[in-house]
A and B are shown apart, each in its own frame.
Chain A
Amino acid sequence: MEIYAGIDIGSVTTKCVILQGKSIIGKALVKTGIDTEKCANDVLDMAAGDAGIKVEEIQRMVSTGYGRRIFRRADRIITEISAAAAGGYILCGEKATLIIDVGGQDTKVIEVNGKGEVLDFLMNDKCAAGTGRFLEIMSHVFETDIQGFSQLAIGSESPVAINSTCSVFAESEVVSLIASSARKEDIAAGLFRSIASRVAGMVRQFRRYELTVFCGGGAKSQALKGFIEKAIERPLIVLQEPQFVVAYGAACLAR
């Protein structure tokens, strides 16, 4: 059976998924470093190792993500929007109408048709507001990682109102909230809620979000999922290992 690879070179992490037919036989994730091309090559080697195959056995490779042009071995280059649409659609059992992808550098909401093709999409503005990067910066303020930060937020009963989603200004807002002795659980929950309301605002532009898939690194946060669900009044489907969805979609598009 033919073997395909999808490589998603994101702003924070680089992911690779290897497919044989329709099933995943190998995958790997590394932090995206300064030498992006080396990262892409490394992650490919690691995924091949995971699959127990040689890189030469891969028939076709598709690269995607913000560094997609740097990986010169790719047979095809596609945007992460098309890849997220294909990956999210196929992995959820081919019934999604909308895909939310909260990545390191941007947040996308993608409307798909009955074939998993993009019908329309929205992306956040150029700054870090409402992205994984924002959560990362905020978790540093609380001296924890994103998972710990998410856990903290879940413990809140009354999230504080946070007005700024600019990572620079939110940080100073958070610092002054800490100084005013607000509970840190409530501050964390306030931050998640402010991002969730931005994402929900994008989702509502589409009018058909009955079946919404949530992927990207941001989907690992229970708190973010909960607040988005509350804001759009619909449950979200979170795929297993959501940060691999885009790479999976790229591999599917290599077929």
Chain B
Amino acid sequence: MKNKEYIREDYGKTLKFFSKGKDSPEIPGNSEAIEKYRKLSGLKETDFFYDAFLKAKSTIPEKEKKPVAGYFCNTVPEELLLACGVHPVRLCSADSHCAECGEEAIPGDICPMVKAACGDFFHDFNRMMDLLIIPATCDGRVKLAEILSPVAKDIYFIDIPRNTDYLENVNIWEKEYTKFFDYLKSKFKVKPARREILDACIQTNERTRMYRKIYEARAKKPGIMNAFDYFIMANSSFFLSPAEWTEKASLLYGEISGREQEPGRKKILLAGSPVVFPNFKILDILGDAGCCVSADVVCSAYGRLYDPVEIDEETESGIIRALSLKYVAPSICPCFVGIDKLINTVLDSVERYGLDGVIYYNIRLCQVFEMASGVLRSVLKDRDIPFLFLKTDFSKEDTGQLKTRVEAFMEMLG
């Protein structure tokens, strides 16, 4: 047998065994969490997003009536999938229950988000997806692609050189995206016209425009929309079509733009690891300590939705180049080279919105995020910008200690 066959045949049996008894499409605890955060929301138009999460992924194939492709990370160009008539779903999971299940296949000392993504596959419809796309952005994801290969119908791997300072790499990203697009065309037997790719870019740009309005409104007027609502809204773009998301978000924008800010709130920037439902532990802790997350630069909200596609040349290769510049070049994920991008993004946000401090959230075992924190800390310290580093995982036992830190940080801000 060849190597690949060993994985498919032998390891496949093991994975099937892990999946046994976990076929329920509902992940325990999620609907309770949705209702908990819905109750805290003072907004009417957030209901749609909470409802969307309740039904989440299991209803997608039926609702969209399209092939569905799942992907990880923030560097897979959704526009190319949309142009091929495929519904994209970002699968990055932060479910503690799934992380526990994932530990059957992945050792305990691995990033909980990787474990959760794996455990998610034992559970629900993920395995039924027509295609799974994994970019080579972090080591955990790369290995996950191989581990999951026996249970996914089809896997496509996008190679992404990680030096965003080296401009020659733009050509390689473009080549990789072109190869990916060719693969999609042949797999789904479609020949999208240039117009269809442009339309997809228009859809995601509309989404970005709406997101930016909400982002700015929240950053300028603290308290008009709480962090739970905000992340539920941003995270739901993982599985809603851009058009549907934009339509509902514009209703929400209408509702919040009429609201008055809460006086006397300190405005905090949240940076670091992604915040993904249902792991709102960090938001719970910040909320309990009276800390108002006014802006963020994390990849599950800002990093995903803030950057538009800027097309110089409306040819197919021109659009693909623009996509690689949207997805890879501005990434502030510490998996990429270019820590200065993270620092500049943080400094710009603090200055632009007059924020009072920065909280850097680190999911335990994501080493690159932790390594970057020291540099950021020292730069902010030199500029007298208050900074708090919080490292945690999905478990609850350190909640008390984390709360003490956040409360002390808030006391420090006065």
Contacts and interface: CB of A to CB of B under 8 A. Distances in A.
Interface of A: 66, 78-82, 105-106, 117-121, 123, 125-126, 205
B411 A78 contact: yes
Interface in B395-409: 397-398, 400-401, 404-405, 407-408
Contact of A79 (B381, B398, B404): B404
Given A81-B411, A118-B408, A126 B387 contact: no
A81 B408 contact: yes
B412 interface: yes
A118 B387 contact: no
B397 A126 contact: yes
B387 A66 contact: no
B404 A80 contact: yes
The 5 closest A-B pairs by CB, nearest first: A81-B408, A79-B408, A126-B398, A118-B412, A82-B411
A234 B377 CA distance: 24
Interface of B: 377, 381, 386-387, 391-392, 397-398, 400-401, 404-405, 407-408, 411-412
A123 B400 CA distance: 13
Nearest to A118: B412
A126 B387 CA distance: 19
Contact of B404 (A81, A119, A120): A81
B284 to A, nearest CB: 16
Which has the most chain A C-beta neighbours within 10 Å: B386, B407, B408? B408
A79 B400 contact: no
Contacts of A78: 411
Given A66-B401, A118-B408, A123-B401, 10 more contacts: A79-B404, A80-B408, A117-B412, A120-B381, A121-B408, A126-B392, A126-B397, A126-B398, A126-B401, A205-B377
Contacts of B392: 126
Nearest to B392: A126
B398 to A, nearest CB: 4
A126 B401 CA distance: 7
Given A66-B400, A106-B401, A123-B401, A82 B387 contact: no
B411 A79 contact: yes
Contacts of A81: 404-405, 408, 411-412
Contacts of B412: 81-82, 117-121
Given A120-B381, A126-B397, A126-B398, A66 B404 contact: yes
Contacts of A117: 412
A73 to B, nearest CB: 20
B411 to A, nearest CB: 5
B397 A123 contact: no
Nearest to B405: A123
Given A66-B400, A106-B401, A126-B397, A120 B411 contact: no
